[in-house]
Amino acid sequence: MTALRTVTSTRRLPEVDVVVVGMGWAGGIIAAELAKAGLSVVGLERGPDRPADGEEFTRKHDELRYRVRHGLMQDVGRETWTFRHHDGEAATPMRHLGAFLPGTGVGGSSTHYGGNTARFAPWEFEMRSRTVERYGEDAIPAGSTIQDWGLTYDELEPYYDRFEWAAGVAGRAGSNPFEGRRSRDFPLRCHPDPETSTLFGEACAGLGHHPFPMPLAILSEEYTNPDGVRRGACVQCGDCAHFTCAVDARGDARVVSLPVARRSPKFELRADAEVLRVLHDGRRANGVVYQVEDGTVEEQPAGMVVLAAYTFNNVRLLLTSGLGRPYDAASGDGVVGKNYAYHVHALGTAFFSDRTFKKYMGAGGGGQAITDFAADNFDHSDAGFIGGAQVMVASGGGAIGSLAVPPGTPSWGAAWKDAIRRWYDRSLSVSALGNVLAYRANHLDLDPTYTDSHGDPLLRITFDWQPNELAIASFAEARIREILTAMEPDHLVTAADSGHFDTVPYQGTHNTGGAIMGAEPRTSVVNSWQQMWDCENLWVVGGSAFPQNGTPGPTGTICALAYRAAEGMQTYAQRPGMLA
């Protein structure tokens, strides 16, 4: 590895109480909460600020520009990641976006998600200890480095609740019997059920499963949240994932958090400001240096520094700034870059010649799901794996990416042309989102060869499927097949992740770990308040803190952790020191 370049600033700005790096969900929540508390806050976002009225209303859902050409996503021409399956393989750069799509710009990835914000089950937070307790130490997969979070579900519950009421989550308390204790109901009733979802729910119930409407941070009716932010209802347009919401019904940092932060004269948001280093003396962070569009590098001193960028960018900034102890996969020592994880997937599609689903309608990632086969919700004694998957009905949308045809159909020519007409709106997909555990072999570090547009090293991802994950995927595929078969379709096809990880097809933007939380500094980067063990005024917030990945999606848990971290920062502002 060549030595990291020295970044020098040409201008030192006045010190503020807090500088927040990244204006996505986590950064937005923290900016809002600290601004409300009267602290001076600067929010830095390396992507653009897209004003709500900056683009014609209808153009926001242009499928080519946003779903196909990734208009809201990180520009990998400037900075990408390198990838290898294991330490012995040569890493190559991901030259095009593929498996995952981190967003860029104010609002971050919250501006293009499906609105899914389900809580993790209590088991996820104590995966290691509960597995050992019920099945014995031998049940932990070989090479796995899973650990408890250092925080229980019950401790996080009040923050899930705050998030759900701030964002406006539609759901029905008690509908998922496997969910943890809730202090109160969701603030909003569920969305109408599309036909695909009703069919899925009936099939699941018939098999003895427990279908429930997935909680969605998408307003089912007009809503004013506890911060006084008022937004209108979803129009069921079907274009959530990959797109900004045209009516601001989907909860994201832009419409929920930043309006609150902006009420404070002591909050300032700077877009197109890319943080290059965290300044520190080894024990305390002093601020950050960042580059603006014209190439100028500025220094923003701060009493507290918060890294709230995407998982990868949090970890990379720690490494390029020389903060924390880098993880060494060979020895297992160190922590920064450790326990990188993801989600494993299975998918099935059923075709019904006598139905039309109007599947381009609906609320984002909505519809029904089951968690009968997730967490430890069934007896794993003979399962051959730990963890599991949420199984859910998938939402359709658009045209370019929604041309499913039955197995055996040619992929081009007259027969294909006729098949896409026949089946376009007559198919229904069910997907499964499964745990990826943490392993000694799966990790993040700085690439020794490839650099970004500034000359800084890219982050290198070392990752592959492990037997536990492939067993989850294959198990979930079998459950999907049972559910779809119960619907009596004309055709049916299922698939599951297998073999080795492929960076090309889109799979999901649920990358976690690398700056994990835990109960002690030897095995984690941050404590349960997301405060860095080695640097008490530095906070690293986001999916990077997950010790391993739970199921389903990470958004709700990231946001709950952000509310809790913001509370910890307020405590710290009054009384500095380690909070745990």
Partner 1 sequence: MAAFFTPAETAAVEALAERIFPAAPGSPGAIELGVAGYIDAQLAGPWGQGAQMYRKGPFVQAQDAGHGWQSPLTPAEVYRSCLRSLDDAARRLHGAPCADLGADHLDAVLTALAGGELEDFREVGGPAFFGMLRQNVIEGLFADPVHGGNRDMGGWRWIGYPGVASAHGADYQREVARHGVPYAPEPSSLR
As annotated, the active-site residues are 510
Contact flag: residue 399 with partner 1 (CB under 8 A)? yes
Q: How far is the CB of 177 from partner 1 (least distance, A)?
A: 25
Structure-token pair, residue 158: 């009040």
Pick out residues in 211-250 that bind partner 1 (CB under 8 A).
233-239, 246
Contact window for partner 1 (CB under 8 A) among 8-16, 192-200, 334-342, 483-491: 192-200
Contact flag: residue 87 with partner 1 (CB under 8 A)? no
Helical residues (DSSP H) of 269-413, grouped into ranges: 311-320
For partner 1, what does the binding mask look like between residues 353 and 372, x meaning CB under 8 A?
A: --xx-x-xxx----------
Q: How far is the CB of 220 from partner 1 (least distance, A)?
A: 9
For partner 1, what does the binding mask look like between residues 122 and 151, x meaning CB under 8 A?
A: ------------------------------
Task: Please tell me the distance from the alpha carbon of residue 478 to that of residue 114, in angstroms, as a whole number.
Answer: 25
Q: How far is the CB of 512 from partner 1 (least distance, A)?
A: 20
Contact flag: residue 189 with partner 1 (CB under 8 A)? no
Check the CA dihedral 102-461-510-35 and report its sign: negative
Closer residue to partner 1, CB minimum distance, 365 or 547: 365
Closer residue to partner 1, CB minimum distance, 191 or 270: 191
Q: How far is the CB of 459 from partner 1 (least distance, A)?
A: 13
Closer residue to partner 1, CB minimum distance, 97 or 493: 97
For partner 1, what does the binding mask look like between residues 265 and 304, x meaning CB under 8 A?
A: ----------------------------------------
Task: Please tell me the distance from the alpha carbon of residue 554 to that of residue 559, in angstroms, as a whole number.
Answer: 9
Angle between helices 555-574 and 25-36 (to 10 degrees): 30
Strand order from edge to edge, sheet including 443-451: 92-93, 81-84, 457-462, 443-451
Q: Which amino acid is at 64?
A: L
C-beta pairs of 61-67 under 8 Å, 24+ apart in sequence: 61/237, 61/239, 61/243, 61/246, 63/239, 63/398, 63/399, 63/400, 63/401, 64/400, 66/112, 66/242, 66/243, 67/242, 67/243, 67/398, 67/400, 67/401
Contact flag: residue 503 with partner 1 (CB under 8 A)? yes
Closer residue to partner 1, CB minimum distance, 75 or 488: 75
Q: How far is the CB of 95 from partner 1 (least distance, A)?
A: 5
User: Are 289 and 9 spatial neighbours (Cβ–Cβ below 8 Å)?
Assistant: yes
Closest CA to 545 of 137, 224, 120, 154: 120
Closest CA to 525 of 299, 317, 275, 338: 338
Contact flag: residue 522 with partner 1 (CB under 8 A)? no
Given 123, 267, 424, 439, the residue binding partner 1 (CB under 8 A): 424
Give the CB-side neighbour count of residue 114, counting CA atoms within 13 A. Answer: 23
Task: Please tell me the distance from the alpha carbon of residue 333 to that of residue 237, in angstroms, as a whole number.
Answer: 49
Task: Please tell me the distance from the alpha carbon of residue 169 to that of residue 146, in angstroms, as a whole number.
Answer: 30
Place of tokens 């119930």: 205
Closer residue to partner 1, CB minimum distance, 131 or 509: 509
Give me the residues that bind partner 1 (CB under 8 A), please: 56-64, 68-70, 73, 75-77, 80, 83, 85, 89-90, 92-98, 192-195, 198, 233-239, 246, 355-356, 358, 360-362, 398-400, 402-403, 411-414, 416-417, 420-421, 424-425, 449-451, 500-504
